[in-house]
Amino acid sequence: MPAPAASAAAHDWRDGVVYQIYPRSFADHDGDGTGDLPGIIDHLDHFGPDRLPIEAIWLSPIYPSPGRDLGYDVSDHTTVDPLLGTDQDFDRLVAGCHGRGIKVILDLVMNHTSDEHPWFLASKASREGPYADFYLWRDPSGWEENGTPLPPNNWVSFFGGPGWEWVPGRGQFYYHTFLVQQPELNWRNPAVEAAQWDMVRGWLDRGVDGFRLDVFNAYLKDPELRSNPVIEGNSPWARQDHRYDIDQPDFPELIERFRAIVDERPGRMTIGELFSRETELAAKYARDWHIVFDWSLMESRWTAAAYAASIDRRERSFGPDLWPTVALSNHDRERQATRLSASVGRDREPDRDAIAKAAAVVILGLRGTPFLYYGEEIGMVDVDIPRDEIVDPPALRAGPDFPWYDRSRCRTPMQWSSGPGAGFTTGRPWLRLGPDAADRNVESEVPDPDSVFGCYRRVLAFRATSAALRRGGMTRLESGAADVLAWTREAAAERLLVLVSFVGETRTVDLAGIAPGTSWTPRVGTRREPSAPSDHGRLELAPDEAVILESVER
Task: Please tell me the predicted confidence (pLDDT) of residue 6.
Answer: 36
With cut-offs at 50, 70 and 90, classify the pLDDT of residue 8.
very low
Q: Work out the average pLDDT over 293-318.
A: 96
Residue 267 φ/ψ region, left for φ over 0, alpha for ψ in the -120 to 50 degree band, beta for the rest: left
Q: Which residue has the higher pLDDT, 186 or 537?
A: 186
* Domain edges within the chain: 13-112+190-459, 118-175, 473-552
Task: Inform me whether the pLDDT recorded for 10 exceeds 80.
Answer: no
Task: Inform me whether the pLDDT recorded for 9 exceeds 50.
Answer: no
Please state, in angstroms and rounded to a whole number, the distance separating the CA atoms of residues 120 and 462.
50
Long-range contacts of 236-240 (CB under 8 A, 24+ apart): 236/156, 236/160, 236/161, 236/401, 236/402, 237/156, 237/157, 237/158, 237/160, 240/154, 240/155, 240/156
The mean pLDDT value of the chain amounts to: 95
Chain-centroid distance of CA 271 in Å reads 9
Summarize pLDDT for 373-389 with one digit per residue, the tens.
Answer: 999 999 999 999 999 99
- Is 214 annotated as catalytic? yes
Task: Please tell me the predicted confidence (pLDDT) of residue 49.
Answer: 86
User: Which among 73, 89, 115, 214 is annotated as catalytic?
Assistant: 214
CB crowding 360-377: b at 16 or more within 10 Å, else e: bbbbbbbbbbbbbbbbbb
Q: Which residues pair with 510 in a beta bridge?
A: 538
Closest CA to 522 of 500, 495, 547: 547
Helix, strand, coil percentages in the chain from 3-state DSSP, rounded to 5: 30, 20, 55
In angstroms, the Cα distances linking 327 to 55, 323, 364, 369 are: 15, 13, 10, 8
Contact 554, 367 (CB under 8 A): no
Summarize pLDDT for 42-67 with one digit per residue, the tens.
Answer: 999 999 888 999 999 999 999 999 99
Provide the 8-state DSSP code for 364. Answer: H
Handedness of CA 394, 397, 398, 403 (dihedral sign): negative
**Measured between alpha carbons, how far apart are the two ends of the chain, in Å?**
24
User: Does the bond joining 350 to the residue before it have cis omega, within 30 degrees of 0?
Assistant: yes
Q: Work out the average pLDDT over 389-413.
A: 92
Contact 103, 13 (CB under 8 A): yes
What lies within 8 Å, CB to CB, of 101 at 6+ separation is none
With cut-offs at 50, 70 and 90, classify the pLDDT of residue 540.
very high
Summarize pLDDT for 139-148 with one digit per residue, the tens.
Answer: 999 999 999 9
- Is 439 annotated as catalytic? no
Q: Work out the average pLDDT over 439-458.
A: 97
Query: Options 3.30.300.30, 3.40.50.300, 3.10.129.10, 3.20.20.80; which CATH number does 13-112+190-459 get?
Result: 3.20.20.80
Summarize pLDDT for 470-482 with one digit per residue, the tens.
Answer: 999 999 999 999 9
Q: Work out the average pLDDT over 388-408.
A: 91
User: Which among 45, 250, 253, 264 is annotated as catalytic?
Assistant: 264
Helix axes 336-343, 351-365, angle to 10 degrees: 110
Architecture per CATH, 118-175: Alpha-Beta Complex (3.90)
Please state, in angstroms and rounded to a whole number, the distance separating the CA atoms of residues 173 and 186.
13
Long-range contacts of 506-509 (CB under 8 A, 24+ apart): 506/540, 506/541, 506/542, 506/543, 507/481, 507/482, 507/483, 507/540, 507/541, 508/481, 508/538, 508/539, 508/540, 508/541, 509/479, 509/480, 509/481, 509/484, 509/538, 509/539, 509/541
Closest CA to 70 of 148, 144, 159, 169: 159
Helix axes 351-365, 452-465, angle to 10 degrees: 10
Q: Which residues pair with 58 in a beta bridge?
A: 20, 105
Do the domains spanning 118-175 and 473-552 agree at the CATH topology level?
no
Task: Please tell me the predicted confidence (pLDDT) of residue 11.
Answer: 54
Task: Please tell me the predicted confidence (pLDDT) of residue 554.
Answer: 55
In angstroms, the Cα distances linking 386 to 335, 389, 403, 406, 409 are: 18, 5, 17, 10, 10
Contact 427, 421 (CB under 8 A): yes
Contact 551, 514 (CB under 8 A): no
Query: Options 3.40.50.720, 3.20.20.70, 3.90.800.10, 2.60.40.1180; which CATH number does 473-552 get?
Result: 2.60.40.1180
Task: Inform me whether the pLDDT recorded for 121 exceeds 90.
Answer: yes
Pairing type for strands 519-525 and 149-150 reads: unpaired
Amino acid (1-letter code) at residue 231: I
**How many Cα neighbours within 13 Å face the side chain of 70?**
20
Task: Please tell me the predicted confidence (pLDDT) of residue 202.
Answer: 98
What does the H/E/C string look like for 277-310? Answer: CCHHHHHHHCECCEEECCCCCCCCCCCHHHHHHH
Task: Inform me whether the pLDDT recorded for 395 exceeds 90.
Answer: yes
> What share of the chain has pLDDT > 90, as a percent?
89
